[in-house]
Structure 1
């Protein structure tokens, strides 16, 4: 038998606030949801992107780029892990994706991983993100790496 899971109470509250962030795009809504040492895993780069500042920059920017964004399903894998299936439009490209989110005991997001398909939509998203925040993101990654 396949076990069923429910998110713990604190992650449930964070997930509800996450949906408010997606609707508003507000950095003020997002900031307290993210642990200071959050790790963001982008579909564009192999190395994780560390830290709250970089994650805030990426997530607030992507809410500006995505059009017709919609979550379809939520998957729960334990008391501190969730997956959110979504669709969106980037320019002429329709995409599908999954946000994989891990929460700490306090409910803050400690890991956020994004997967997107098809490749042409991912490429369009990468180009749009690079045009808007490429240099800023590189600077934040360098600062987090200590150099």
Structure 2
């Protein structure tokens, strides 16, 4: 089992964040533009854990060199069953530098979009606070 999968299934937010490269780009299934950076990606993933229920991976697919993974998941959002896939690319240090999510069916994707929209002010505030904390340490 990949460490990212183990961290997500354990709902270990710190371990999930530790798997992300600083320059990770997150592509959402419900937003047009991708989100660049570790702070916003980690905040989005925390938001997802607040919005979805019964999240679990059902399949893990990896390429031979280990740089690309597809993790198929199932969950419930607003009472709707959702199936999706996390497509992950890992940099030379083994950190996720590209993270794209796809989900189905449309009704569940719409429920996910609504749930994430309700969380987005909190997500932005968390990401901003993290960026400010990092800048203060620099």
Q: State whether TM-score is above 0.5.
A: yes
Secondary structure of 1:94's aligned partner: strand
Mapped partners of 1:24, 1:105: distance in 2: 25
Secondary structure of 2:107's aligned partner: helix
1:137 offset after TM fit, Å? 3.5
Q: 1:80-112 CA distances to partner (integer Å, 9 max, x unpaired)?
A: 001011111112210110100000111000000
1:29 offset after TM fit, Å? 1.0
Mapped partners of 1:100, 1:120: distance in 2: 21
Mapped partners of 2:110, 2:41: distance in 1: 20
Specify the alignment match of 1:89 in structure 2: 76
1:25 offset after TM fit, Å? 2.5
Specify the alignment match of 1:10 in structure 2: none
1:135 offset after TM fit, Å? 6.5
Q: 1:115-147 CA distances to partner (integer Å, 9 max, x unpaired)?
A: 001111011111111101246439969xx9xxx
Specify the alignment match of 1:16 in structure 2: 2
* TM-score w.r.t. length of structure 2: 0.82
Runs of at least 4 residues off by over 3 Å? 134-141
Mapped partners of 2:126, 2:35: distance in 1: 11
The yes-or-no answer on 1:102 pairing with 2:86 is: no
Q: 1:112 aligns with which of 77, 99, 109?
A: 99
* TM-score w.r.t. length of structure 1: 0.77
Return 5+ residue gaps in structure 1 as ranges.
1-14
Q: CA RMSD in A?
A: 2.2
Q: Is residue 25–residue 64 contact of structure 1 (8 Å, CA) maintained in 2?
A: no
Specify the alignment match of 1:131 in structure 2: 118
1:64 offset after TM fit, Å? 2.0
Q: 1:44 aligns with which of 5, 22, 30?
A: 30
Mapped partners of 1:138, 1:48: distance in 2: 18
